[in-house]
Amino acid sequence: METRTKTNSKNLLVLYEDNHIIVINKRPGDIVQGDKTGDVPLNEIVKQYVKKKYNKPGKVFLGVVHRIDRPTSGVVVFARTSKALSRLNELFSQKLAKKTYWAIVKNKPNKEQGTLEHWLLRNTKQNKSYAHIKEVPNSKKAILDYQILKKLNNYYLLEIDLKTGRHHQIRAQLAAINCPIKGDLKYGFDRSNKNGSIHLHARSIEFLHPVGKKPISLTAPAVEDPIWDACS
Residues forming the active site: 69
Phi, psi of 223, deg, nearest 5: -65, 155
Residues 168, 144: contact at Cβ < 8 Å? no
Per DSSP, what are the bridge partners of residue 202? 74, 101
CA angle 197–99–151, rounded 5-degree value: 60
Burial of 20 (0-12, 13-18, 19+ CB in 10 A): middle
For 76, other C-beta atoms within 10 Å of its C-beta total 24
> Backbone phi, then psi, for 166, in 5-degree steps?
-105, 160
Rounded to an integer, what distance in angstroms lies between the CA atom of residue 76 and that of residue 26?
7
